[in-house]
C-alpha cells in the first residue's frame, strides 16, 4: 500500500488524465494504442476505466518500492490497468481441439463444423470471444494443420454431391472436380476470415481483436490449400483493395519443407514473398534458429509460434515445451537509458541494473500471485473452453495457480542503443566495442532471468519489449530530469529493445547480423525489421535474399517493411509520393499509408502517439 502523500499525487494525476480524455487534448494518452480509436465513445470509456484501474493498482496492489521505481522512470509494468482484473497477456489457442469438441461462447453451444466455411467462421468467433478474456493478443499456432481436416471434409462433400449427378465420372476426373470446388470454398472461407478479422469488434466495441496466425509447414494437400488461399485472400485485400491489418500472419520457415526449390512448400514460400511485398504480411519465423530448434522434435506441435508483435512462449518447467495452450502472464520493462544516466561507470551500470531486475521480479511475482487467486469462473471462455493447458479440469471456483504456472513471466527492456551512447558515447551499430558491451548487457539480463527461473521454479524469460506508448513516456521523463543529451534524450522516443536506431544509416546485411545475435538471448520474444525502399513487388528475389540472410544470422523472427499506400478515391495501391500516379489525388486526407508500428499494421497514422510518429518519420532505408 502507498503512503497518503503518494496516494494524493496519483489521485491528482488520475483526475488530470480523465479531464484530458474528455477534452481529447492529450494525443499520447488517448492514442496509447494505435489499434483503438481513443476519441470514439467506446474508446473514451475504455480509457476512463484504464486510468482508474491504473490508479487502483498503484495505490492498492503494488508495493511502495515498485511504485517509487515507476514514478522515478526506471520500470514500467505493461497493461497495468488490467492488473486488477487478473487477466493474462496472450494465448496460443488450440484451434483444432476447440473445433473438434465444439465450444460455448456463453450464449449457446457451437457444434463441430462440417466444412471449411463453417470452420473459419467459427475461428473468427473464437478469436472474438477470447479477446475479452485477455489484455493482449491471441494466436493460432498451427492454423494450417488445425483446419486441414475441414478442408478434407469440404472435398468429401463435393465428391459425394458430384457422384449424385447424372454424369459418368472417371476416377481422376471426379477427384479433380471435387478438389477444384473445394479450392473455391477454401478461398471464400479465407477471404471471409480476413474480412472478419478486420471488421469484428471486441472489448466494448472499441477494438478489433488483436490476432495472429502461424502457418507454412503442413505439406498435405489440404494444408497446402489452406495456406495458399489464406495468402491469396490477403494479397487480394479487403473490399475496396485495402491492406488487411489483421490477422498478423507468420510464415514458418523450415529446412526440408519450404526453404529450397526442391522442397514441397517452396512454392508457398514464394507466394508468401509476393504477398508480403504487397501487403507487409506475412512476417517470417525460423524453426531452425538456435533459439527455436532446441524445442523441435519433428511434430507440428513443437514448431515455434509467435504472437504477431513478438511474444514467444516455448520453454516450460511444468509441462510440455511448446506454445500450444500457453501464453505470457505479464511483462515489465526496464529503462536501460535511465540506469545508464545515473551510473558513473559501466560497473555501476551493471550493479544498478541487477537491483532493478530484482525489483521487477518482485513486481511480477506480486502480479502472478494476484492472478493465481482469481477463479476459473471469472474467465469462462479462457478456462472453461480449454484455451489454457489443464484448464478443462478446473471447477468454476478453483483458483488458477496450477494452470498459470505453465505461462511465462517476462522481464523486458528498452533503449539499449541510447544506454550505450550514455555509457561510452556510441551505440552498437557504430562500433564493435559498443556491440560487445551491448551484447554483454543483454546476456547479463538473460543470465539473471535464468537464475531467477531456477530460484522460483517459474517460467521467467527475457523479452525484447514491444514499446508503443512506452517509447515516448520513458524519454519524456528522462529529458525532464537530465535535459537534452545528443544521441540519448534528443529524440521523442527511445529505440526499441536491442534494435539499431531507426535513424542510423546501415546496410541491411549489417543490421541483420548485428541484431540477429540478440534473438537467442531474448527467449520471451524478439523481432527485427529491415526497411526497404521502392516497390519491392518488382524484386521478389531481393526479398528472398533478405529472408535467407535473416535465417543465416540466427533470427528467430523477422519482417520486412516498405511503403504501402492506397488512394481512397481510385483504389490505387502502391507507392504514393505527392500525388496518386493513377488519378492525381494529392489530398493527404484521402491517402491511406499503411505502416508497421510494433509488429502490427496501422493504416491511419493519426491514431499513432507522437513518439511513434516521430520514430516512423525518421526511419531510414537499409541499402544493399
> Does residue 10 share a domain with residue 83?
no
Containing domain of residue 169, as a range?
91-307
- Output the pLDDT for position 68: 97
- Output the pLDDT for position 449: 98
> Does residue 245 share a domain with residue 132?
yes
Q: Does residue 595 belong to any structural domain of this protein?
A: yes
Q: Does residue 41 belong to any structural domain of this protein?
A: yes
If you search the block for the grid coordinates 509520393, which residue do you land on?
A: 577
- Output the pLDDT for position 347: 97
Distances (CA, A) of 491 to 152, 262, 424, 487: 54, 48, 19, 8
> Does residue 347 share a domain with residue 242?
no
The CATH number assigned to the domain holding 247 equals 3.20.70.20
> Does residue 507 share a domain with residue 602?
no
> Does residue 82 share a domain with residue 52?
no
Domain termination site, one of 474, 502, 526 = 526
Rg (CA), the chain: 24
Q: What is the pLDDT of residues 592-612, one digit of tens each?
A: 887 776 666 766 656 655 665
> Does residue 361 share a domain with residue 303?
no
The count of residues in the chain is 624
Q: Pseudo-torsion of CA 376, 377, 380, 383, nearest 10°?
A: 10
> Does residue 163 share a domain with residue 57?
no
Query: Which stretches of the chain drop beneath a pLDDT of 50?
Result: none
> Does residue 503 share a domain with residue 412?
yes
> Does residue 573 share a domain with residue 516?
no
Closest CA to 136 of 196, 102, 199, 93: 93
- Output the pLDDT for position 588: 85
- Output the pLDDT for position 594: 79
Q: Does residue 607 belong to any structural domain of this protein?
A: yes
- Output the pLDDT for position 577: 85
Is-above-0.85 flag for pTM? Answer: yes
Q: Does residue 367 belong to any structural domain of this protein?
A: yes
- Contact (Cβ atoms closer than 8 angstroms) between residue 600 and residue 310: no
- Output the pLDDT for position 468: 65
Number of domains in the chain: 4
The C-alpha atoms of residue 479 and residue 485 are separated, in whole angstroms, by: 8
Instruction: Convert 344-397 into a string of H (helix), E (strand) and C (coil).
Output: CCHHHHHHHHHHHHHHHHHHHHHHHHHHHCCEHHHHHHHHHCCCCCCHHHCCCC
| DSSP run (H or E) holding 75 | strand 75-77
Domain termination site, one of 277, 307, 337 = 307
> Does residue 585 share a domain with residue 492?
no
> Does residue 274 share a domain with residue 233?
yes
Q: Does residue 68 belong to any structural domain of this protein?
A: no
The C-alpha atoms of residue 493 and residue 470 are separated, in whole angstroms, by: 8
Cell of 114: 462440417
Tell me, rounded to whole angstroms, the distance of Cα 489 from its chain centroid: 27
Q: Does residue 429 belong to any structural domain of this protein?
A: yes
Q: Does residue 534 belong to any structural domain of this protein?
A: no
Average pLDDT value for the chain: 90
> Does residue 350 share a domain with residue 268?
no
- Output the pLDDT for position 564: 83
Domain termination site, one of 526, 553, 575 = 526
Closest CA to 345 of 415, 418, 428, 423: 423
Q: Does residue 290 belong to any structural domain of this protein?
A: yes
- Contact (Cβ atoms closer than 8 angstroms) between residue 273 and residue 547: yes
- Output the pLDDT for position 601: 72
Amino acid at each position: 500500500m502507498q503512503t497518503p502523500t503518494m496516494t494524493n499525487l496519483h489521485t491528482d494525476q488520475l483526475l488530470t488524465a480523465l479531464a484530458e480524455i474528455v477534452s481529447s487534448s492529450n494525443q499520447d494518452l488517448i492514442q496509447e494504442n494505435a489499434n483503438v480509436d481513443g476519441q470514439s465513445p467506446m474508446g473514451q470509456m475504455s480509457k476512463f476505466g484504464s486510468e482508474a484501474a491504473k490508479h487502483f493498482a498503484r495505490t492498492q496492489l503494488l508495493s511502495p518500492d515498485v511504485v517509487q521505481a515507476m514514478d522515478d522512470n526506471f520500470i514500467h509494468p505493461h497493461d497495468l490497468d488490467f492488473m486488477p482484473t487478473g487477466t493474462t497477456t496472450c494465448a496460443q489457442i488450440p484451434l483444432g481441439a476447440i473445433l473438434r469438441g465444439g465450444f460455448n461462447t456463453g450464449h449457446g453451444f457451437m457444434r463441430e463444423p462440417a466444412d471449411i466455411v463453417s470452420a473459419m467462421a467459427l475461428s473468427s468467433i473464437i478469436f472474438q470471444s477470447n479477446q475479452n478474456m485477455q489484455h493482449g493478443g491471441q494466436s493460432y499456432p498451427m492454423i494450417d494443420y488445425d483446419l486441414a481436416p475441414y478442408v478434407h471434409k469440404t472435398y468429401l462433400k463435393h465428391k459425394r454431391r458430384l457422384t449424385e449427378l447424372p454424369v459418368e465420372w472417371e476416377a481422376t476426373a471426379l477427384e479433380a472436380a471435387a478438389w477444384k470446388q473445394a479450392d473455391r470454398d477454401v478461398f471464400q472461407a479465407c477471404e471471409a476470415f480476413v474480412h472478419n478479422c478486420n471488421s469484428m469488434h471486441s472489448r466494448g466495441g472499441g477494438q478489433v481483436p488483436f490476432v495472429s496466425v502461424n502457418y507454412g509447414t503442413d505439406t498435405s494437400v489440404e494444408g497446402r490449400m489452406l495456406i495458399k488461399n489464406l495468402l491469396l485472400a490477403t494479397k487480394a485485400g479487403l473490399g475496396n483493395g485495402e491492406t488487411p491489418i489483421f490477422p498478423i500472419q507468420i510464415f514458418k520457415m523450415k529446412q526440408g519443407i519450404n526453404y529450397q526449390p526442391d522442397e514441397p512448400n517452396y512454392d508457398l514460400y514464394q507466394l508468401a514473398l509476393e504477398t508480403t511485398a504487397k501487403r507487409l504480411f506475412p512476417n517470417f519465423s525460423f524453426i531452425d534458429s538456435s533459439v527455436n530448434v532446441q524445442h523441435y522434435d519433428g511434430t507440428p506441435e513443437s514448431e515455434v509460434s509467435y504472437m504477431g508483435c513478438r511474444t514467444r512462449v516455448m520453454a516450460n518447467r511444468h509441462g510440455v515445451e511448446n506454445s500450444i495452450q500457453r501464453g505470457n502472464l505479464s511483462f515489465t520493462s526496464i529503462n536501460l537509458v535511465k540506469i545508464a544516466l545515473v551510473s558513473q561507470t559501466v560497473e555501476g551500470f551493471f550493479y544498478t541494473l541487477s537491483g532493478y531486475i530484482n525489483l521487477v521480479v518482485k513486481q511480477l511475482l506480486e502480479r502472478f500471485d494476484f492472478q493465481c487467486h482469481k477463479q476459473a469462473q471469472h474467465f469462462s471462455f479462457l478456462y472453461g473452453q480449454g484455451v489454457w493447458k489443464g484448464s478443462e479440469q478446473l471447477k468454476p471456483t478453483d483458483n488458477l495457480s496450477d494452470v498459470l504456472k505453465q505461462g511465462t513471466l517476462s522481464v523486458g527492456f528498452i533503449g539499449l542503443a541510447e544506454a550505450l551512447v550514455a555509457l561510452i558515447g556510441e551505440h552498437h551499430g557504430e562500433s564493435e566495442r559498443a556491440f560487445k558491451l551491448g551484447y554483454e548487457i543483454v546476456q547479463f539480463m538473460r543470465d539473471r532471468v535464468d537464475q531467477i527461473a531456477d530460484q522460483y521454479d517459474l517460467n521467467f524469460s527475457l523479452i525484447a519489449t514491444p514499446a508503443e506508448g512506452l517509447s515516448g513516456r520513458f524519454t519524456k521523463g528522462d529529458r525532464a530530469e537530465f535535459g537534452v543529451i545528443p544521441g540519448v534524450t534528443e529524440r521523442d522516443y527511445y529505440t526499441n529493445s536491442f534494435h539499431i536506431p531507426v535513424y542510423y544509416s546501415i546496410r541491411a546485411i549489417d543490421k541483420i547480423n548485428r541484431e540477429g545475435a540478440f534473438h537467442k538471448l531474448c527467449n520471451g520474444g524478439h523481432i527485427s525489421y529491415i526497411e526497404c525502399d521502392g516497390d519491392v513487388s518488382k524484386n521478389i528475389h531481393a526479398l528472398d535474399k533478405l529472408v535467407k540472410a535473416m535465417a543465416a544470422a540466427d533470427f528467430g523472427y523477422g519482417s520486412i517493411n516498405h511503403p504501402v499506400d492506397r488512394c481512397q478515391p481510385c483504389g490505387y495501391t502502391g507507392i504514393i509520393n505527392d500525388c496518386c500516379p493513377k488519378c492525381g489525388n494529392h489530398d493527404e486526407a484521402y491517402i491511406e499509408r499503411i505502416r508497421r508500428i510494433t509488429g502490427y499494421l496501422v493504416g491511419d497514422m493519426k491514431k499513432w502517439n507522437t513518439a511513434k510518429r516521430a520514430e516512423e518519420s525518421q526511419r531510414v532505408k537499409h541499402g544493399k
